């Protein structure tokens, strides 16, 4: 999440709108610049090329620094086979591997979610054999986020369908559904928060 998205989240917009509004504002800025400067250039070809560049410049610049990824606006989830126990309360379970760089990238967004929505239960399940592997996550995560070692690593690998990190939403000790890392975006977060309220 970047500075601009944080502003819109703080104003009460959903995660999806907070992600989308800066792009729309940059596009609007581009068209405003075109409207402002279109009379300054008289040559038709130069005007068309210049105005096209001016229109795309704000959006393109923002996109360069904050690109849209495939999973940002999708909510493609799946229902894995339940092979282990889950908490009774609505919980976002993050299934991770100790050495997985993408798994460690989830830390900042989960810390942000926990800070903004303290009622949301978040649990990290580290698939490994030794308790030492949980410290890399525990040391970086908010202290209110539960981190535990999986008791049945093979079962968690099956539930994650071999893709890590895997986010599994559960309630009443049952899986609601899960997301692969590339499909866990702002729409998925809004879906979770709708269930929390």
**What are the boundaries of each domain within the chain?**
3-65, 91-196
What is the pLDDT, as a whole number, of residue 66? 93
> Any residues with CB less than 8 A from the CB of 50 and at least 6 apart, and which?
37, 41
Higher-confidence residue of 137 and 52: namely 137
> What is the rounded average pLDDT of the residues 168-192?
95
Average pLDDT, the chain: 91
Cα end-to-end distance, the chain, whole Å: 22
What is the pLDDT, as a whole number, of residue 60? 93
What gap in Å lies between CA 115 and CA 5, rounded to an integer? 16
What is the pLDDT, as a whole number, of residue 72? 83
Q: Whose structure tokens read 């993050």? A: 94
What is the pLDDT, as a whole number, of residue 150? 94
Q: In 10 A of CB 147, how many CB atoms?
A: 20
What band does 54 get if pLDDT is binned at 50, 70 and 90?
A: confident
- Residue 47, pLDDT > 90, answer no
In tens, the pLDDT along 85-134 reads: 999 999 999 999 999 999 999 999 999 999 999 999 999 999 988 888 89
- Residue 13, pLDDT > 90, answer yes
Residue 9 — φ and ψ, nearest 5°? -65, -45
What is the pLDDT, as a whole number, of residue 193? 95
> What is the rounded average pLDDT of the residues 21-29?
95
> What is the rounded average pLDDT of the residues 29-45?
77
Q: Which CATH code fits 91-196? A: 3.40.30.10
- Residue 40, pLDDT > 80, answer no
What is the pLDDT, as a whole number, of residue 43? 67
Residue 169 — φ and ψ, nearest 5°? -95, 130
In tens, the pLDDT along 138-176 reads: 999 999 999 999 999 999 999 999 899 999 999 999 999
């Amino acid at each position: 999440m970047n500075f601009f998205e944080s502003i819109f989240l703080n104003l009460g917009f959903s995660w999806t709108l907070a992600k989308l509004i800066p792009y729309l504002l940059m596009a609007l800025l581009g068209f405003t610049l075109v409207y402002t400067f279109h009379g300054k250039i008289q040559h038709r070809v130069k005007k068309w090329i210049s105005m096209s560049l001016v229109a795309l410049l704000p959006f393109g610049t923002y996109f360069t620094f904050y690109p849209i990824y495939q999973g940002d606006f999708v909510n493609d989830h799946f229902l894995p086979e339940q092979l282990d126990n889950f908490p009774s309360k609505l919980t976002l379970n993050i299934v991770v591997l100790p050495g997985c760089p993408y798994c460690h990238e989830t830390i900042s967004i989960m810390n942000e979610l926990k800070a903004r929505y303290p009622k949301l239960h978040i649990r990290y399940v580290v698939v490994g054999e030794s308790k030492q592997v949980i410290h890399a996550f525990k040391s970086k995560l908010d202290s209110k986020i539960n981190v535990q070692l999986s008791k049945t690593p093979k079962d968690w690998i099956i539930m994650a369908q071999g893709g890590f990190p895997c986010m599994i939403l559960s309630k009443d000790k049952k899986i609601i559904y899960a997301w692969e890392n590339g499909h866990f975006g702002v729409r998925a977060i809004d879906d979770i928060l709708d269930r929390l309220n």
